[in-house]
Amino acid sequence: MSNTCNKYSTVDLDKDYETKRCNRARLDTGTFCNYDCEFCYYQGLLHVKTDWDVIKERIDSIYSYGIDQIDLSGGESSVHKDWFKILKYCNGKFNHISTLSNGWKFSKIDFMQKSKQSGLKEIMFSVHGFDEQSHDQIVRRKGAWKRIHQAIENAHACGLVVRVNCTVYQKNIPGLSTYHNILKKINPLEVNFLTLNYWTNNDHAKPIDYELATNEIKSCIDKIKDHIKYINVRYTPYCFMQGYEKHVCNQFQHIYDIYDWNKEVFNDIVDTTRNYTHKEKIDLAYIAADQDRQRSYYKPHACLKCKYYNICDGIEKQIPNGNDLVKPIPGKKIKLPTHFRKSFYG
């Protein structure tokens, strides 16, 4: 058994220079958070606060690269003491401001209204549980379920775009069978299912059961596809998503996910003072996606027989016995990362 990326892992891709690329960047406001989600990447760092001067420097750098949309992310950005200062400064530079949030602060309507007045236009809410007990246990904060639903109600009332993400891991997989009811009630523009990965320092997490998770996710998709405009399943092998390929958004598909984070800026591989052409920016995004794929994933030799081989990331390096896990689908190998998502966002 080997869990090393084989040499074929990132070759033979056709670059798509025509599909609209993501021009929304993540603004890292620091790891400080008022929650302690049990799967969090930043456990041990949730008390660390980031100064305004550091954040301002990050904003200026992102802006100089030509980014026109910004997504505030922590930790929990809304609990930063300079939250409104950050919003107002971003509002002077970017066309659109969004944030990723646990909803705690936004459950107060006056906080939501002031945030909108300061430039906030969109919130992606993290809804990881399927009822009050499961959600509060997962995020390890009593009252979180009630708060996030009130926050979502406030966001709709204030006219903000609402999106949802759900980290799928061993503990909450069973609850996916009822998640469609929650999503229909929330009525988001988009939902992202993220199968738990081992990035940064969350090695405490248990390996994801891809087959069990994707079976539940696909069932949920069937029940919400007529109600929710965009549905993404992130960081999941294509062989487990046959028939649902358009929803798969792995490293190279991420380049074209207009609601997520610009790859090259996020990976810090650009000189933000330089003027790059459109083609150069796409090339840089492919380099960043390649780095992320090689850093975190490998492809068992069984994958060599699969038609998804080039566009799929494979499985995470921490997961053993890959040849016994994957389900290669025969056929002509697909080389274009956007093959199934060419018109995903219209």
Contact 337, 285 (CB under 8 A): no
User: Mean of the pLDDT values across residues 162-166?
Assistant: 97
DSSP codes joined into one string, 156-192 = HHTT-EEEEEEEE-TTTGGGHHHHHHHHHHH--SEEE
pLDDT, one tens digit per residue, over 299-321 is 999 999 999 999 999 998 888 88
Architecture of the domain delimited by 24-228 = Alpha-Beta Barrel (3.20)
Q: Which two tokens stand for residue 343?
A: 């018109």
Q: Which two tokens stand for residue 194?
A: 């993220």
pLDDT, one tens digit per residue, over 36-85 is 998 888 888 899 999 999 999 999 999 999 999 999 999 999 999 999 99
Q: Where are the beta strands (DSSP E) in 219-343?
A: 230-234, 248-249, 297-298, 315-316
pLDDT-based confidence at residue 135 (cuts at 50, 70, 90): very high
